[in-house]
Amino acid sequence: MKNNTSDRRSPWSWVPSLYFAEGLPYVVVMTVSVIMYKNFNLSNTEIAFYTGWLYLPWVIKPLWSPFVDLFKTKRWWITTMQMLVGIGFAAIAFTLNMPYMIEMSLAFFWLMAFASATHDIAADGFYLLAVPDKDEQALFVGIRSTFYRISTIAGQGLLVLLAGYLIDNNLSIATAWTITFVVMAVIFIALFLYHRIFLPRPSIDHATSEDNSPRAIVQGFFKTFVTFFKKPYAVSAILFMLLYRLPEALLVKMTSPFLLDSVEAGGLGLTTLQVGMATGTVGVIGLTIGGILGGVCASNGGLKRWLWPMVIAISLPNIVYVIMAYTHPALWVVNALIFIEQFGYGFGFTAYMLFLIHYAEGESTTAHYALCTAFMAMGMMIPGMAAGWLQELLGYKSFFILICALCLVTIAVCCFIKLDKPHNNTTHEI
């Protein structure tokens, strides 16, 4: 058998671009769509509910994740899904000046979300195969998180700035967003072409099914789920996956509407251009720095040492939204407060990602990691769908106070997770 290391390229040549490609469609579907539909004057309840449903592909992706293991290589799945996502961006661009653009654009967002979720399954599994060294994996958790966040700057920041600039220069909202989505399509097709050439070809990246009979496929499919739920401490692990980011699940859907809404409606009255700078540029820079620092800290001492500092970091800064709701500060203060909150979130989110890798280790790593990220998506989807209704019921001030109170849930689920687990008769710590 060919040695895996002979086909291995430096992770620096492909990890940054791969996780940029993983992050861009996700942030567009989850966040940029919120800003776009707010520009089209949908209510907060409609925006949160419609875009909340777009999480569903990431929730149910374990239903098809075993097939990514069973058929073709993960490299093939990555490049094919990148091509489909690029086509999806282009399709959305050409619906925005048509009748029924809300329904049509949502349909294409759904198709793009399914392709992106499948890409995530393959990319995360490919990462574990092509970066087999555990210390290097821990280091590149921070690197991949960094470039994932850079894709957020590109999507939620630079591309929203582009749309805002075009709107401010008297283009119609539909035309401005059409141009923006065409740019996204070009970027993603370029990423597809790059990865066709530069992704490594590890010899262990192959279809795991030697028997492609329907019976073998069904047996392999159900075995994946059984082995996942038989892992040690499954209940506490799943509760952690679902609830660690509960405050963020509510907050993320209402951040842009809060910043865009008028002062009379309880918001800050910012323009689309200002929101693109605040959340998509300044905020994501804070998120990126926090993620890098989290990865460096975790690679020097492990998650067991850094869990509680990361829990505090992801929880305490949520109070900045209470401050903004009550004081309506100047724009530079808004930017500074968003930077602080996102820095804390970036640092604290590292604990979450390391725990998912930890829990997915063992048999069927790719499919089990997909199950972990499905629970992660479910934890964002269900609260997120209700966020708009809850905000309109309570008002922004009380809504943000509730989010701060729900940080106690984050603390509670961290009390019960286990960071030591038996593996091959030894004990591993992370």
Note whether 139 and 261 are within 8 A (CB). no
Segment 156-195, tens digit of pLDDT: 888 999 999 999 898 999 999 999 999 999 999 999 999 9
- 8 Å CB contact between 15 and 143: yes
Number of domains making up the chain: 1
CB atoms within 10 A of CB 405: 11
6 in any annotated domain = no
Whole-number Å distance between alpha carbons of 288 and 295? 11
Q: Is residue 4 part of a domain?
A: no
Domain CATH code at residue 181: 1.20.1250.20
Q: What is the 3-state secondary structure (H, E, C) of 303-336?
A: HHHHHHHHHHHHHHHHHHHHHHHHHCCCHHHHHH
Spatial separation of the C-alpha atoms in residues 41 and 160, rounded to whole Å: 16
Residue 421 lies in a domain: yes
Q: What are the tens digits of pLDDT across the range 297-356?
A: 888 878 888 999 999 999 999 999 999 999 999 999 999 999 999 999 999 998 998 898
pLDDT score recorded for residue 274:
93
Could you list the residue range(s) of the whole structural domain that residue 149 is in?
13-202+216-429
Residue 362 lies in a domain: yes
pTM for the whole thing? 0.75
In a domain? residue 153: yes
Q: For residue 210, tell me if it sits in a domain.
A: no
